[in-house]
């Protein structure tokens, strides 16, 4: 396991304390979540890391001069957690021994200081059981690849490939003269993906190890919603893709159903809503040509513009 089981809480508490310190002066830190015992336990742990004491089972008060700042930390222990949408920090504590930070307000900490490590921690522990849990999605992946109509002989990247569910249909699409590459930032996911026999790379999707215009197509299943900046991610994918190349954004569940599953509110300005995605694509080197969010799946196709 990444960092070892004993290291997860110290790493997360250090990150939370660093974010709280960025408040710069007096602060009221409110810890919230659906499980009161987890809230009280985490509040006590964070107070100890900050070398103070809780002022309540869910609150830490830091004295100082200046304008007081209030921070909200949401501890996600269940699928139903709409309050997480407005929290400054979201910590996944479905497993109390393996907390993972899933969101930090960029005004508190920049993404470079936490995103990659925490994302690897989130996906790494799930890699061994991922296919058993989501293996029924394979036909939807194959249908999405067919719909994208990737030309034979293409060089295609499955970015954020996970356990590699798209690699086989991508190989069938490009044929024996094409090239398929899988890329993910989590070593445990790539270890599972090796069974598909395609070349694999461990790298950050925000910093692709390719020269400009290397790729003919990019397949990205569930990637954009996990990136700290959708615009930066799309811009980097555009950099590595040749003119007129394809970008396939896909999820085996539609946006509304996925939001309901996670207890979230589906916002009109979500980056994958049609009007937002069209604008994001136009601003980052893509032109959206196909969009389907009818319920069963999410599918969007874009072309690389000059």
Confidence of residue 79 (pLDDT cuts 50, 70, 90): low
Domains of the chain with bracketed CATH: 5-124 (no CATH), 131-304 (3.40.50.150)
Q: Is the separation of the CB atoms in 49 and 29 below 8 Å?
A: no
Spatial distance between the Cα atoms of 220 and 234, rounded to a whole number of angstroms: 10
CA neighbor of 158 nearest in space, from 198, 130, 128, 191: 198
* Residue 154 DSSP symbol: -
CA neighbor of 148 nearest in space, from 300, 306, 304: 300
Left, alpha or beta for 66 (phi > 0: left; psi -120 to 50: alpha)? left
E-strand ranges in the chain read 27-32, 54-56, 59-62, 69-76, 89-92, 100-104, 155-159, 179-184, 200-202, 215-221, 241-251, 286-292, 298-304
- Dihedrals phi, psi of 24, to nearest 5 degrees: 65, 65
Token pair for 135: 């293996």
Alpha-carbon dihedral of residues 133, 90, 120, 252, nearest 10 degrees? 40
Question: pLDDT, tens digit, for every residue of 190-226?
Answer: 999 999 999 999 999 999 999 999 999 999 999 998 9
Please state the rounded mean pLDDT for residues 66-76.
88
Question: pLDDT > 70: what percent of the chain?
Answer: 94
Q: Is the separation of the CB atoms in 46 and 63 below 8 Å?
A: no
Q: What is the pLDDT of residue 175?
A: 98
CA neighbor of 126 nearest in space, from 167, 187, 81, 79: 187
Top pLDDT among 266 and 132 is at 132
Strands 54-56, 27-32: pairing is: unpaired
Token pair for 71: 């921070």
Instruction: Give the distance, in angstroms, between the CA of residue 212 and the centroid of all CA atoms in the same chain.
Output: 24
Question: pLDDT > 90: what percent of the chain?
Answer: 78
Give residues with Cβ within 8 angstroms of 136, minimum separation 6.
none
Q: What is the pLDDT of residue 16?
A: 94
Please state the rounded mean pLDDT for residues 278-296.
95
Token pair for 7: 């290291």
Spatial distance between the Cα atoms of 200 and 295, rounded to a whole number of angstroms: 32
Q: What is the pLDDT of residue 135?
A: 84
Strands 155-159, 179-184: pairing is: parallel
Burial (CB count within 10 angstroms: exposed 0-12, middle 13-18, buried 19+), residue 244: exposed
Burial (CB count within 10 angstroms: exposed 0-12, middle 13-18, buried 19+), residue 189: buried
């Amino acid at each position: 396991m990444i960092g070892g089981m004993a290291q997860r809480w110290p790493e997360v508490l250090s990150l939370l304390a660093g974010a709280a310190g960025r408040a710069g002066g007096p602060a009221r830190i409110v810890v919230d979540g659906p499980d009161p015992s987890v809230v009280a336990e985490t509040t006590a742990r964070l107070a100890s890391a900050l070398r103070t004491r809780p002022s309540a089972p869910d609150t830490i008060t830091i004295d100082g001069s200046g304008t007081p700042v209030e921070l909200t930390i949401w501890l996600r222990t269940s699928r139903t957690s709409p309050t997480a949408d407005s929290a400054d920090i979201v910590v996944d504590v479905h497993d109390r021994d393996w907390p993972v930070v899933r969101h930090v307000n960029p005004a508190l900490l920049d993404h470079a200081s936490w995103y990659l490590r925490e994302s690897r921690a989130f996906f790494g522990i799930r890699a061994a059981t991922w296919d058993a849990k989501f293996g029924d999605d394979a036909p939807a992946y194959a249908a999405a690849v067919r719909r994208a109509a990737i030309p034979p002989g293409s060089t295609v990247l499955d970015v954020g490939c996970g356990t590699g569910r798209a690699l086989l249909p991508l190989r069938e699409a490009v044929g024996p003269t094409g090239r398929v590459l899988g890329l993910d930032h989590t070593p445990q996911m790539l270890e599972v993906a090796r069974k598909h026999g395609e070349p694999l790379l461990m790298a950050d999707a925000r910093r692709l190890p390719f020269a400009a215009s290397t790729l003919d197509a990019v397949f990205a299943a569930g990637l954009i919603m996990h990136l700290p900046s959708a615009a930066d991610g799309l811009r980097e994918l555009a950099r590595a893709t040749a003119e007129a190349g394809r970008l396939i954004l896909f999820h085996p569940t539609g946006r509304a159903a996925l939001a309901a599953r996670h207890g979230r509110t589906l916002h009109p300005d979500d980056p994958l809503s049609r009007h937002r995605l069209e604008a994001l694509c136009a601003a980052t080197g893509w032109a959206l040509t196909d969009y389907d969010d009818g319920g069963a799946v999410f599918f969007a196709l874009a072309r690389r513009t000059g």
